[in-house]
Amino acid sequence: MLVSFEHVSLRYQASHTVLSDINLALMPGLFYFLTGSSGAGKSSLLRLIYQIEKPSEGRVVLFDKDTSQLHHSEFPALRRRLGIVFQDFRLIPHLTALENAALPLCLAGAKPSQVNAHVTELLNWVGLGDRLHARPFELSGGEQQRVAIARAVVNKPKLLLADEPTGNVDDESAKKLMRLFLELNKMGTTIIFATHQQNIVKQYAKPVLRLKNGRLVTSFSEAA
Ligand SMILES: Nc1ncnc2c1ncn2[C@@H]1O[C@H](COP(=O)(O)OP(=O)(O)O)[C@@H](O)[C@H]1O
Ligand SMILES: [Mg+2]
């Protein structure tokens, strides 16, 4: 299993229970939708996987490791096997598309000269080959999101977490983004694609993790 949740609950401070007794086993290589209305706990569940949040109860097991038992020195290596794409892109404003996408490699110690060819190829793949040196404010929402996707996959993660990646772009850009995620999945990356947009979920025959009232129900979407 790539990810498993065993009786996971999550409460923020003393507030209501956001996630309640979640059990989950995700297989490598699949594309999962994570859905539920706004406030259902989708981002919280992704944060539990990305290790920015700890469960109030239960265990999160990642790559066969019980994350509650990890030493803090083991987190960077674990995170390098994960990629994450946020709804609001979170690009660094003064860096170019190329520099933003190369950032995880540079933070891991690579020199720009060593990685530029690879990152350029990746930006070509997301369709930004002619926008390498543009800064985020010069790019459309869909283009910024494609830079964010390139940055998330530059480390070749085993698991890609995408939190409402099509939430802030028009329908046409959303379709193009969706194609990129499906292609990445075909190449072997496991994907968890969180969205409240049922029209997107309904278009593809994929496993669906649906959150409602803190509980998780797994099903399979039937493409219309
Ligand atoms: N850091 C936080 N502190 C307190 N409450 C939070 C925090 N993050 C999220 N919540 C609450 O948890 C619930 C689930 O939020 P979230 O995971 O963002 O849902 P979704 O992504 O499905 O919209 C909401 O009621 C939200 O207000
Ligand atoms: Mg959210």
User: Residue-wise pLDDT tens for the chain (224 aa)?
Assistant: 899 999 999 999 877 899 999 999 999 999 999 999 999 999 999 999 999 999 999 999 999 999 999 888 888 888 889 999 998 999 999 999 999 999 999 988 999 889 999 999 999 999 999 999 999 999 999 999 999 999 999 989 999 999 999 998 888 999 999 999 999 999 999 999 999 999 999 999 999 999 999 999 988 876 65
Contact 54, 5 (CB under 8 A): no
The number of angstroms, rounded, from the C-alpha of 108 to the middle of its chain's C-alpha atoms is: 20
Full domain range(s) for residue 138: 89-156
DSSP 139: S
Q: Is 18 in the pocket of ligand 1 (CB under 6 A)?
A: yes
Q: Whose CA is nearest to atom 1 of ligand 1?
A: 12
Residues 176 and 203 in one domain: yes
Q: Is 34 in the pocket of ligand 1 (CB under 6 A)?
A: no
Domain count, the chain: 2
Query: 37 in the Ramachandran plot: left (φ > 0), alpha (ψ -120 to 50) or beta?
Result: beta
CATH at 63: 3.40.50.300
pTM summary value = 0.94
Residue 125: phi and psi, rounded to 5, are -65, -40
Q: Where a domain ends, among 133, 156, 179?
A: 156
Distance 87 CA to ligand 2 centre (A): 8
Round to whole Å and give the CA distance between 219 and 172: 27
Round to whole Å and give the CA distance between 145 and 102: 15
The number of angstroms, rounded, from the C-alpha of 134 to the middle of its chain's C-alpha atoms is: 24
